[in-house]
């Protein structure tokens, strides 16, 4: 007992670190995607390039098993590819093109709360009061970080609605992932997510034809950002996120999404010369405090259940 407990703590620390590193990288993708949109690429074109890159990267190391063990599981793989792939990114990237990036980063952070609610519905996980309080504190911090001291709230109904669709879609992805990770390796699940994400994109192209500008791909700013989005932010980060969900659970891992706007704020200040304010720093403390409260509440609940 004395030897296994420290090992368990080290493992938990590793998976929490993986989740944090993932959201730190994802926090920079808002800036990267915005740069590509401003360069002339469409949101769906960006998604296609990054998913194709990610799929072929992961295919190199995971190519032996083609199908899930049952038709039901294969259908869940399809749903995960739609919810965590095509639907999520089409909604989010389209929203980035028509509304403020701050609105997108704020509304996408409703995903952890939605994930916690869905976990209660599908997996009968009790909704703990302190977890909810921690989530609300973190969400308030997200609001402070995103709006960065500005009292002007610009609302774009379509863009904001699409962002909420993306948040709900990601919550369902985490719920499906929790079920699949009990029976399949992370590499296999992640490869299927990219595969069905790409295939469902081509269904979308039937209704909205894709217009590609190959000349833009020759620009260093374009192919460097696409390589980052495809190989790092997609392939590597999906592997890390799926691993974290497998060992920490959907709700606990989803709470780290609150950190994304904080990273977006810092990278925007570094690369887009956007100013930091006292309000945004106060929001950063709220985010960290909220995630800490939620995490502590989860630990207490696990200890009480074991007792």
What pLDDT shows up at residue 78? 96
Q: Rounded distance, CA 256 to CA 21, Å?
A: 10
CA proximity to 89, closest of 200, 176, 222: 200
Which phi and psi (to 5°) does residue 126 adopt?
A: -65, 140
How far is CA 147 from its chain centroid? 20
Q: Rounded distance, CA 45 to CA 211, Å?
A: 8
Kindly give the confidence (pLDDT) of every residue in the chain, 307 residues in length, as a single tens digit, with 9 standing for 90 and above. Answer: 444 445 466 778 888 899 999 988 988 887 788 788 889 888 888 889 999 999 999 988 877 888 999 999 999 999 999 999 999 988 987 887 777 666 677 678 778 878 877 887 787 766 666 666 777 777 777 677 666 555 445 556 787 788 889 989 999 999 998 889 888 998 899 999 999 999 999 988 888 888 888 889 889 999 999 999 999 999 999 999 999 988 888 877 887 887 777 777 777 666 656 566 677 667 767 776 777 676 665 555 555 544 4
Calculate ∠ Cα 221-24-56, nearest 5°.
60
Calculate ∠ Cα 101-252-71, nearest 5°.
90
CA dihedral 133, 136, 137, 143 (to 10 degrees): 180
The single residue listed with the structure tokens 């894709």 is: 210
What pLDDT shows up at residue 214? 84
What pLDDT shows up at residue 131? 67
What pLDDT shows up at residue 254? 82
The single residue listed with the structure tokens 């700013």 is: 221
What pLDDT shows up at residue 300? 56
Q: How many CB atoms lie within 10 A of CB 55?
A: 20
For residue 19, give Cα distances in angstroms to 97, 134, 137, 196, 274: 27, 18, 20, 24, 26
Total count of residues recorded for the chain: 307
């Amino acid at each position: 007992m004395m030897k296994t407990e420290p090992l368990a703590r080290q493992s938990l620390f590793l998976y929490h670190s993986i989740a944090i590193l993932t959201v730190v990288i994802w926090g920079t993708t808002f800036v990267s995607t915005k740069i590509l949109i401003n360069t002339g690429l469409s949101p769906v074109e960006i998604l296609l390039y990054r998913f194709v890159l990610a799929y072929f990267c992961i295919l190199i190391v995971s190519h032996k098993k083609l199908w899930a063990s049952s038709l039901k599981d294969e259908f869940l793989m399809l749903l995960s590819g739609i919810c965590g792939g095509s639907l999520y990114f089409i909604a989010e990237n389209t929203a980035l093109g028509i509304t403020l990036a701050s609105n997108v980063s704020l509304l996408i952070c409703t995903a952890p709360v939605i994930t916690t609610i869905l976990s209660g519905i599908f997996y009968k996980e009790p909704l703990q009061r302190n977890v909810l309080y921690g989530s609300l504190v973190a969400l308030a911090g997200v609001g402070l970080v995103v709006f960065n001291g500005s009292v002007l709230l610009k609302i774009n109904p379509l863009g904001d609605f699409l962002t909420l669709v993306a948040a709900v879609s990601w919550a369902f992805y985490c719920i499906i992932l929790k079920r699949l990770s009990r029976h399949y390796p992370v590499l296999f699940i992640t490869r299927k997510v990219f595969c069905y994400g790409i295939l469902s994109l081509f269904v979308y192209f039937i209704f909205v034809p894709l217009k590609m500008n190959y000349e833009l791909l020759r620009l260093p700013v374009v192919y460097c950002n696409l390589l980052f989005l495809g190989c790092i932010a997609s392939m590597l980060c999906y592997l890390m996120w799926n691993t974290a969900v497998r060992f920490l659970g959907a709700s606990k891992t989803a709470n780290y999404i609150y950190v994304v706007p904080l990273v977006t704020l810092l990278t925007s200040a570094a690369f887009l010369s956007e100013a930091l304010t006292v309000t945004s720093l106060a929001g950063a403390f709220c985010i960290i405090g909220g995630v800490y409260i939620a995490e502590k509440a989860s630990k207490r609940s696990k200890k009480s259940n074991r007792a």
